[in-house]
Amino acid sequence: MSSSGNPSLPPYRRKPLRPLAGDERAALHRVADALIPATDMLPAPSRLDELDRWLDRALAAQGEALESILAAATALPDPGGPELDAALRRLSSDDPVAFHALSSTVAGAYLMVPAVRRQIGYPGQRRHPPQFDEAANQIMDGILDPVLERGSIYTPAG
């Protein structure tokens, strides 16, 4: 440990610890498409223009787990289809830790794509200060009356 670093602050990365090879990115696309099908409103994940940007961000958040995630993805059958679907099911039951890391990464990346967020109605965590009278309006309409009518419930302790 060096005095040059803040001991309470993890490194923040926008890119994975190393660039992905073409076959690795393709494997992640296949996994994403297998786990997350297209809908009437959204194409398959691999068809989303911005997926790769957010895949990189998701993999960056995984830090040193990058290699194990890529290893799990590239070990799955190519191409996709029923064989890949069956392999993912086996992975989820045989090695739930590896499946969790892989599936959280691709799902997390997909759910960061702005078009997806708009579609599911997720604004992201952000500032949304309450109106001046919002709290008062939410408790002054009689909702507390039943509690007040029952009176004190504490146990006196002398």
Partner 1 sequence: MAAREPGCDAPVVEASGSETVVDVLIVGAGPSGAVVAHTLAAAGFSVLCLEQGGWVNPSDYPANNPEWELLIQKDWHHDPNIRRLPSDYPVDVTDSDMSPVMFNAVGGSSIFYGAEWPRLLPSDFRVRSLDGVCDDWPISYEELKPYHDEVDAFIGVSGVEGDTAYPPGLTYPLPPLPLGKAGRIAAQAANTLGWHWWPGTNAIASHKNRTLEPCARWGTCEFGCPEGAKASFDLIYMPQALQLGVRLVTGARVSRIVTGPRGAAEGVEWFDLDGREHFQRARTVVLCANGIGTPRLLLLSAAGAHPDGLANSSGLVGRNLMLHPNCSVAGFYDRDLEAWEGPAGQLIHSMQFYDTDPTRDFVRGSKLQVLPLPGPLNALEIHRELGFDRIFGDGFHSTVAGHGSGILWAANTEDLPELSNRVTLSTTQTDSHGIPAPRVHYRISDNTRKILRFTLQRMIELHEAAGAVRTFPVELWVDQPGHLLGTARMGDDPNTSVVDAFGRAHDVPNLFIADGSIFVTSGSANPTSTITALALRVAQGIVAGARDQVTAA
Which parts of this chain interact with partner 1 (CB under 8 A)? 1-3, 5-12, 34-37, 39, 54, 57-58, 60-63, 65, 85, 88-89, 92, 100, 103-105, 107-108, 111-112, 120-130, 134-136, 138-139, 143-144, 146-148, 150-158
Helix axes 96-110 and 22-35, enclosed angle (nearest 10): 90
* Least distance CB 50 / partner 1 (angstroms): 11
* Least distance CB 47 / partner 1 (angstroms): 15
Asked if 88 and 35 touch (Cβ cutoff 8 Å), the reply is yes
* Least distance CB 22 / partner 1 (angstroms): 23
DSSP one-letter string for 16-32: -SSPPPHHHHHHHHHHH
* Least distance CB 24 / partner 1 (angstroms): 18
Q: Which is nearer to partner 1, 79 or 131 (CB)?
A: 131
> Residue-wise over 30-39: b if at least 16 C-beta within 10 A, else e?
bbbbbbbeee
